Chain A
Amino acid sequence: MAVKALYDYDFPSADRIENFGDDQLVYVHWAGNPLFCSAAAFRAPRATPFGEFVAAMVQPWAASDPEFDPASIAGWQLFDEPLAADPQRSLAELGIGHKSLLTFRTA
């Protein structure tokens, strides 16, 4: 159903990827940890290797929980599918696109 309007209703998305240059938004959810109310949002370069993304952005955030142990990250999902998260490959190479939702669990 289209928006009812008196004119041609056509506006660009406020968060289209062009607005983020070489970067994009990525959401990361720590499943099973209710200390965090929601997933976190990050702005990261598409070319950044996954391992660097985790070390530079995800781990400092996860450390909001004083019990967080980086070695305990047990597995990743991209939306609902398991992700073979090769730390050397970039977000783009792993198919992690703009506004993707990543989930990890801890052992």
Chain B
Amino acid sequence: MSLTERPPATSAPAKKLPVKQRYSLLTRDLDWEPSYVNRADLYPYTSYEGIVVHDWDGWEDPFRLTVDAYHKYQSEKDKRLYAVLDSFAQSQGHLTLSDASYLNSIKLFIQGVTPLEYAAHRHFAYLARYLEGPAPRFAALCQSIDELRHAQTQIHTISNYNKYYGGFHSWSKMHDRVWYLSVTKSLFDDAMSAGPFEFLVSISFSFEYLLTNLLFVPFMSGASFNGDMPTMSFGFSAQSDESRHMTLGLEAIKFLLEQDEANVPIIQGWIDKWFWRSYRMSALVAGMMDYMLPKPVMSWKEAFELYFEDQMLGGLFPDLAYYGITPPRHVQDAIAEKDKLSHEVYKILHNFSFAAAFTTSTPSDDHMAWLSAQYPDTFDRYYRPTWEKHRSVEAGGGRVFFQGLPQLCQVCQIPIAFTERDDPTRISFRHSEFRGETFHTCSDGCQWIFDREPEKYVQAWLPVHQIYQGNCGGPTVPDVLAWYGIQEGDNGEYAGSPDQQQWAEWHQPAKGGN
């Protein structure tokens, strides 16, 4: 046979299977009943949490996605994203950002959020092995791959800034060590050390469904408003995955609620816990949205009303009432503090940025005017006077930092800085006794969570206490910063920082002459 000759066609091309059948063959049909191993040995983690599942096949797959279709789709998205990254890098796109200070929010993102994507990848891989039904296992597998891809694309997107700006170099190490990053790390550690069903309710439902729009969208809109094309493109690239994850979260919770009535109170308890855990973590986003964006998008309060109060409390929870699920415990506390949250959180960051891998600064006149318009009931009355005081100290060449270490909440690990519901001037201190020891929490929500499982939270790795036990590089601030991986200039005040000075230099009017 010559090389140019085609082999004769022996049969008509195979017909393509309908999507539904194809999906079924490639996912559910790959499951089998164990014959020489006990089912309980094969799936050891699906009963101890008290959740009862009668029929794993009752799981409805919202997306009939197969591995080949998944890869085709994701690789197209990757191509588009990496084209944007290349062109932004080649055209020195970083110079067209609104301001170098914008990147503080992106430093917070790669240090605090990207490692969570990787943690989620790991734990969904575990669920892809240990959930009993083939359909939820496959859904977990897809999400595990998504999360890995998110971690990678975020690293590739954001690390481009490492060439020109501080704070982007050691985020992985920092995530394991630095005080404000223990807020996000400990939340995920809490979820990963729970059983598989609690993890689904914590991460898939409370985190990915209830609060994802509040956690994720503000960073992406912030990127869009401040000229950060790469981060915005990453956001678009991840958006369709995120909507799939949201649907998985909702499907998971409905499936569990439908399986047995005994599941309802267990799941309600997890919703109560994980709403508050995730909401408390989102406080960092609140501070970022209202204070760290040179061109703000919308206020935290507005985003909270839209994405949480309208969409979740107004849309989702009336549906869940059918199953006997009520809105999360302590949700009224969250609503009550929407006028205060971002101001209280940014105060923490501003007080302690000498020990952070980002910089902060006192809001400008324009920014304060914006804050005052967004928060007419609170800003001028409670927060402006303190910022004015900072301003006057700075006018004299000073800068107020907190010359010490803060008291941390045993549960959320944020400094205890939130105030009483009815009094924005009084910090809300709560404490519990357990086995003769005192444990402090920042709110009724965190105290309730502590009291529910004190044996778990007494183990918390609280950065301040670890420093005082001598486990963080040494007793002085420079010792601890070195151990954190924070380099000179990553931290402190934005005005006069290397980022600010270089930015000013790059944007000097072109010099004439020959």
- When C-beta atoms are compared, the residue in chain B nearest to A2 turns out to be B455
Cα(A97)–Cα(B385), bound, Å:
36
Interface: B472 (CB within 8 A): no
| Least Cβ–Cβ distance between B427 and chain A, in angstroms | 7
| Least Cβ–Cβ distance between A61 and chain B, in angstroms | 4
Q: Which residues of B contact A3 (CB under 8 A)?
A: 453, 455-456
Cα(A9)–Cα(B48), bound, Å:
13
Cα(A73)–Cα(B100), bound, Å:
42
Interface: B80 (CB within 8 A): no
Interface: B90 (CB within 8 A): no
- When C-beta atoms are compared, the residue in chain A nearest to B198 turns out to be A4
Report which of A9, A14, A20, A99 forms a contact with B461, defined as CB distance below 8 A.
A14
Task: Tell me which of B347, B350, B465 has the highest count of chain A C-beta atoms within 10 A of its own C-beta.
Answer: B465
Structural contact, A98 and B438, CB atoms closer than 8 A: yes
Q: Which residues of A contact B7 (CB under 8 A)?
A: none
Structural contact, A41 and B464, CB atoms closer than 8 A: yes
Q: Which residues of A contact B400 (CB under 8 A)?
A: 35, 64-66
Report which of A6, A10, A37 forms a contact with B348, defined as CB distance below 8 A.
A37
Structural contact, A101 and B468, CB atoms closer than 8 A: no
Structural contact, B406 and A101, CB atoms closer than 8 A: no
- Chain A residues 67-103 with CB under 8 Å of chain B are 79, 97-101
Structural contact, A41 and B455, CB atoms closer than 8 A: no
How many residues on B have C-beta within 8 angstroms of the other chain's C-beta atoms? 55
Cα(A27)–Cα(B431), bound, Å:
12
Structural contact, A66 and B440, CB atoms closer than 8 A: no
- When C-beta atoms are compared, the residue in chain B nearest to A15 turns out to be B465
B5-23 interface code vs A (CB 8 A; 1 in, 0 out)? 0000000000000000000
Cα(A5)–Cα(B405), bound, Å:
35
Q: Which residues of A contact B452 (CB under 8 A)?
A: 1
Once A13-B435, A63-B403 are accepted as A-B contacts, the answer to whether A32 and B425 lie under 8 Å apart by CB is yes
- Chain A residues 6-60 with CB under 8 Å of chain B are 6, 9-17, 19-20, 25, 27, 29, 32, 34-43, 60
Structural contact, B348 and A38, CB atoms closer than 8 A: yes
Structural contact, A64 and B403, CB atoms closer than 8 A: yes
Once A4-B195, A34-B386, A41-B405 are accepted as A-B contacts, the answer to whether A14 and B458 lie under 8 Å apart by CB is yes
Q: Which residues of A contact B509 (CB under 8 A)?
A: none
Report which of B195, B406, B438 forms a contact with A38, defined as CB distance below 8 A.
B406
Structural contact, A38 and B417, CB atoms closer than 8 A: yes
| Least Cβ–Cβ distance between B512 and chain A, in angstroms | 45
- When C-beta atoms are compared, the residue in chain A nearest to B345 turns out to be A37
Q: Which residues of B contact A41 (CB under 8 A)?
A: 404-408, 464-465, 468
Report which of A9, A14, A40 forms a contact with B407, defined as CB distance below 8 A.
A40
Structural contact, A25 and B437, CB atoms closer than 8 A: no
Interface: B236 (CB within 8 A): no
**Interface SS majority for chain A:** loop
**Interface SS majority for chain B:** mixed
| Least Cβ–Cβ distance between B450 and chain A, in angstroms | 11
B369-392 interface code vs A (CB 8 A; 1 in, 0 out)? 000000000000011011001100
Q: How large is the interface on A (under 10, 10 to 19, 20 to 34, 35 or more residues)?
A: 35 or more
Task: Tell me which of A38, A66, A97, A101 has the highest count of chain B C-beta atoms within 10 A of its own C-beta.
Answer: A38
| Least Cβ–Cβ distance between A81 and chain B, in angstroms | 13
Cα(A4)–Cα(B456), bound, Å:
10
Structural contact, B398 and A14, CB atoms closer than 8 A: no
Interface: B302 (CB within 8 A): no
Q: Which residues of B contact A64 (CB under 8 A)?
A: 400-404
Report which of A6, A13, A63, A101 forms a contact with B44, defined as CB distance below 8 A.
A6
Structural contact, B417 and A37, CB atoms closer than 8 A: yes
Cα(A65)–Cα(B408), bound, Å:
21
Structural contact, A36 and B351, CB atoms closer than 8 A: yes
Q: Which residues of A contact B60 (CB under 8 A)?
A: none
Q: Which residues of B contact A38 (CB under 8 A)?
A: 348, 351, 402, 406-407, 415-417, 427
Structural contact, B402 and A99, CB atoms closer than 8 A: no
Q: Which residues of A contact B404 (CB under 8 A)?
A: 40-42, 60-61, 64
Cα(A5)–Cα(B429), bound, Å:
30
Task: Tell me which of B350, B393, B469 has the highest count of chain A C-beta atoms within 10 A of its own C-beta.
Answer: B469
Structural contact, A11 and B468, CB atoms closer than 8 A: no
Q: Which residues of A contact B45 (CB under 8 A)?
A: 6
Interface: B84 (CB within 8 A): no
Interface: B132 (CB within 8 A): no
Q: Which residues of A contact B267 (CB under 8 A)?
A: none
| Least Cβ–Cβ distance between A28 and chain B, in angstroms | 9
Structural contact, A27 and B407, CB atoms closer than 8 A: yes
Structural contact, B403 and A61, CB atoms closer than 8 A: yes
Interface: B344 (CB within 8 A): yes
Interface: B50 (CB within 8 A): yes
Structural contact, A60 and B465, CB atoms closer than 8 A: no
8 contacts between A and B (CB under 8 A): A2-B455, A11-B458, A25-B468, A27-B407, A40-B404, A61-B402, A101-B407, A101-B429
Give the interface of A toward B (CB within 8 A): 1-6, 9-17, 19-20, 25, 27, 29, 32, 34-43, 60-61, 63-66, 79, 97-101
Give the interface of B toward A (CB within 8 A): 44-45, 48-50, 195, 344, 347-348, 350-352, 382-383, 385-386, 389-390, 393, 398, 400-408, 415-417, 425, 427, 429, 431, 435, 437-440, 452-453, 455-456, 458-462, 464-466, 468-469
Query: 9 other contacts beyond A14-B461, A37-B402, A65-B400, with CB at 8 A cut-off?
Result: A2-B453, A4-B195, A15-B465, A19-B469, A25-B465, A36-B351, A38-B351, A39-B407, A66-B398
5 A-B pairs with least C-beta separation: A13-B458, A38-B415, A61-B404, A43-B468, A39-B407
